[in-house]
Amino acid sequence: MVEPVLTIAMLTYRRNSYLRAVLPLLVDQAASVAHWARPRVLVVDNDPQAGARPVVVAALDGCGFTDFGTGAVSGSAAAATGRVDVGGLRIGLTYVHEPEPGIVAGRNRALDEARDDDLLVFIDDDETPEPGWLAALVAQWRTTRCAAVTGPTPADFAEPPPPWVEASGAFDSWQAEDGAQVGSADTGNLLLDLAVVRRLGLRFDPRYGLTGGEDSLFTRQLTRAGGVIRFATGAVVSKKVPRQRATRAWVLRRAFRSGSSWVRVRVDTAGRVRLPLRVAYAAKGAAKAGADFVRGAGARLRGDLSAQARYEVSSRGGLGMVVGACDVRVREYGRPGHRLARHVGGSRTGGRR
């Protein structure tokens, strides 16, 4: 039997301390499935200054990597590759630079780098794989031969969050039964069967490059085309939450952006006239925003912090739905500039990359 080729892709943007800590863990995860597949680790650096390259080079040197060399020039930085011996297993590590801003450019670069591979596993640079993570993803895929596998992503707070943030549920990890079929998934913890992806011609949509929501669109397109996504309870990655994100203001901004992208994904995957759909979602979002604002105010008067936080998050998400229905894009991953952009006739206004 031919061993499938598996790539673990980590996208990174100026989180070098996280990257430095997680690279050895990814190598160990790769080694855990090397008896069945030919695994490698791929780092896609989305920093225009290629700041992650020294981190990867240091990992190649410090972790005992051999055969280190440089490949073709990618953007402003040369690609780098090497291998490490882990208990007699040789695990590859590759660095590539993707200077085009936005998470979509990085994810599509990973697809391009894995064009001849069988499986692609995404993990983000603020996540830590728990023991058995990759083995659980692979085991679920081998058992069911599904199009994709995802798993839990619990929060790892840098310090205890404020009561409002904890009560909001914004960082709760969603759960399902092991092997359950799910409708969509985050790409921060996702295995893809690349034969299915290639057959369907799927790519991450550049319109979502600076706003987020590209993973929801991609996996929704996958399932609408007949692909099945399964849940693996043992495939756990912990998502680091720094102090500056564990705030009420950040959570409400994220809810606003999420509401916007939720509507945009559904409009973009609609197979019918879209204007009535936009009007319906705008009305639904406005009603949700107003009703939950009132409910949140009532909960605050009662001293019910849990209900208050959840209603306030829901209300802000409703406002985001209204904005998304108007095709106004709320930027989350953009370079310095405005956070709102209106897409008109193929051009963007209200921000810069």
- pLDDT, tens digit only, all 353 positions of the chain: 578 999 999 999 999 988 988 998 999 999 999 989 999 999 999 999 989 998 888 877 765 554 444 433 333 466 777 776 666 677 889 999 999 988 899 999 999 999 999 999 999 999 999 999 999 999 999 999 999 999 999 999 999 999 999 999 999 988 899 999 998 898 999 999 999 999 999 999 998 877 778 899 999 999 999 999 999 999 999 999 999 999 999 999 999 999 999 999 999 888 777 888 899 999 999 999 999 999 999 999 999 999 999 999 999 999 999 999 998 887 765 554 444 544 433 333 333 23
Q: Is the pTM of this model over 0.85?
A: yes
**Measured distance CA(309)–CA(187) in Å, rounded:** 27
DSSP-assigned letter for residue 130: P
Give the pLDDT score at 55: 87
Give the pLDDT score at 346: 37
Give the pLDDT score at 68: 42
Which uninterrupted H or E stretch holds 314? helix 305-325
Distance of CA 89 to the CA centre of its chain: 29
What is the DSSP track for 196-252? HHHHHT----GGGTTTS-HHHHHHHHHHHTT--EEE-TT--EEEEE-TTTSSHHHHH
Give the pLDDT score at 87: 66
The residue written with tokens 């990359």 in the block is 353
Reported residue count of the chain is 353
Give the pLDDT score at 76: 43
DSSP 3-state assignment of 270? Answer: coil
Answer positive or negative: Cα dihedral of 166, 169, 172, 178: positive
**Measured distance CA(5)–CA(40) in Å, rounded:** 8
Residue of 48, 56, 43 whose CA lies nearest to 10: 43
